[in-house]
Amino acid sequence: MKKILIFIDWYLPGYRAGGPIRSVANMVSHLSDRYQFLVVTRDTDYMDPRPHKEIESNNWNKISDNHSVYYISKDTLSIKKIKEIIKATDFDIVYINGVYSFYFSILPLVLIRYFYSKTSIVAPRGMLSEQGLGVKSGRKKLFVMIARIFGLYKKSIIHITGNTERPDIENLHLRPRRICYALNFPPFAVLDNQNKCEKTSGKLKLVFIARIAPEKNLLFALKCLQNTEYKGHIDFDIYGAIYHQDYWNICNSVIKDLPENIQVNYHGQLDNNQVSEVLQKHHFTFLPTKGESFGHSILESFTAGCPVIISDQTPWKDLKDKQIGWDISLDNLELFTSTIQFAIDLNQQQYKQMSDKAAEFARNYFDLPQIVESYTTLFE
């Protein structure tokens, strides 16, 4: 049984870092009968200084027979510590989640590249896309240039979860050993996908579940609500960690100016195990994101029978034709607003048809044997 050593900044029981945690946790859940997974991570959640409860820091914690986690405390996190863990661990493959984290992406990649004859796999999680490079672009583009000059990825496999990532990575000329496509696994547990939210014409419940950051485009969503006199009542619930306080302050200023028929409520961070329940209490996910390599929250919305109103900057396309939502260009504010009014006007029968189709789409989306086979190829 091959041993996979995984590096990731934040991991279970953390949840605030969102999609990357779910991607790795779902992979481990589905494949732990085939591989042994050894995860190296911080002992805290994102933006939380407190160590996780019921874990032992700076030691291996056995989660299940083929799943162990090494939680590193802040005071011991160092180059020396990462080198010690790699040297002391018996493994066959290193799986690196992310690109720009010094301790959990760059350092493991450099050590494996120059000092170990082991296979390294890098999962960029959209960080090498045009949109991913756009945030704090100066430092990121400098790193990519250095990686290209020194052939940092030359011996690595790059794992993409959506084929929209491939051209962006190829255009960077990083010259990896190969680029391998393997879709993200769904949650291992089967969610109850019966939407419990009754729909009355003239009323609409929207939900935004994502970090509060420019790339998730909450401000655009709020401006869609601000710029039109909607006929009907809208409740818009926002869940997510505040990554950029200044950006959130701007969002708040728009919220305060919204008309009385639009109610916006911020509920803070949402634990992963509460996502399905929250989605089932809303009519549509409203996420005009600037870009997603996959979009876990979008798939989770379908799974919960909650259609979506999203941008066209994700792998989820032609949603209107499938009757499970809309994917709209960010250049077309008018289409966003007319779509929201259309959603307000839907009655229960019309909405239920969309909700049922969304849940059915999620059930049919995954061909688990094929996904397992793609990871077998990735880890060969």
For 215-262, the pLDDT digits (tens) are 999 999 999 999 789 999 999 999 998 989 999 999 999 999 999 999
3-state helix, strand, coil in the chain (%, to 5): 40, 20, 40
- The CA distance from 335 to 327, in Å, is 10
| 187 has a pLDDT exceeding 80 | no
What is the mean pLDDT of the segment spanning 31-50?
96
Residues 26/18, Cβ–Cβ less than 8 Å: no
What is the mean pLDDT of the segment spanning 23-41?
96
What does the pLDDT read at residue 191?
Answer: 45
| 61 has a pLDDT exceeding 80 | yes
What is the mean pLDDT of the segment spanning 271-299?
90
| 202 has a pLDDT exceeding 50 | yes
What does the pLDDT read at residue 13?
Answer: 94
What is the mean pLDDT of the segment spanning 78-83?
98
Q: How far apart are the first and last CA of the chain?
A: 11
Comparing 294 with 170, which gets the higher pLDDT? 170
Comparing 323 with 195, which gets the higher pLDDT? 323
DSSP sequence for 133-176: HHTTHHHHHHHHHHHHHTTTTTTEEEEESSTTHHHHHHHTT---
Among 141, 209, 212, which Cα is nearest to 171's?
A: 141
What is the mean pLDDT of the segment spanning 283-297?
91
Do the first three CATH levels of 3-185 and 203-365 match, i.e. the same topology?
A: yes
Contacts of 102 (CB under 8 A, 6+ apart): none
Pairing of the two strands 60-64 and 67-72: antiparallel
Comparing 168 with 190, which gets the higher pLDDT? 168
Please write the tens of the pLDDT for every residue from 130-181: 777 766 678 888 989 999 999 999 999 999 988 778 998 999 999 999 999 9
| 188 has a pLDDT exceeding 90 | no
DSSP sequence for 5-54: EEE-SS-TT--TT-HHHHHHHHHHHHHTTTSEEEEEEESB-TT--SBPTT
Q: Write the single-letter amino acid at 17.
A: A
Comparing 87 with 294, which gets the higher pLDDT? 87
What is the mean pLDDT of the segment spanning 286-295?
90
pTM, full prediction: 0.74
Sequence spans of domains, the chain:
3-185, 203-365
Comparing 192 with 96, which gets the higher pLDDT? 96
Confidence of residue 194 (pLDDT cuts 50, 70, 90): low
Contacts of 286 (CB under 8 A, 6+ apart): 206, 207, 208, 221, 236, 308, 309, 310, 340
51 exposure class (CB count in 10 Å sphere: 0-12, 13-18, 19+): middle
- The CA distance from 158 to 178, in Å, is 6
358 exposure class (CB count in 10 Å sphere: 0-12, 13-18, 19+): buried
Tell me whether the omega of the peptide bond preceding residue 13 falls within 30 degrees of 0, making it cis.
yes
What does the pLDDT read at residue 47?
Answer: 87
Residues comprising the chain, all counted: 380
Instruction: Provide the token pair at 5.
Output: 């050593």
Please write the tens of the pLDDT for every residue from 331-374: 999 999 999 999 999 999 999 999 999 999 988 887 888 999 99
Largest CA distance in the chain: 64
Provide the β-strand partners of residue 209.
239
Architecture of domain 3-185: 3-Layer(aba) Sandwich (3.40)
Q: Which of 70-84, 230-244, 269-283 shows the lowest per-residue confidence on average (mean pLDDT)?
A: 269-283
Contacts of 293 (CB under 8 A, 6+ apart): 124, 125, 126, 129, 132, 160, 161, 162, 164, 165, 315
Confidence of residue 105 (pLDDT cuts 50, 70, 90): very high
What does the pLDDT read at residue 365?
Answer: 82
Architecture of domain 203-365: 3-Layer(aba) Sandwich (3.40)
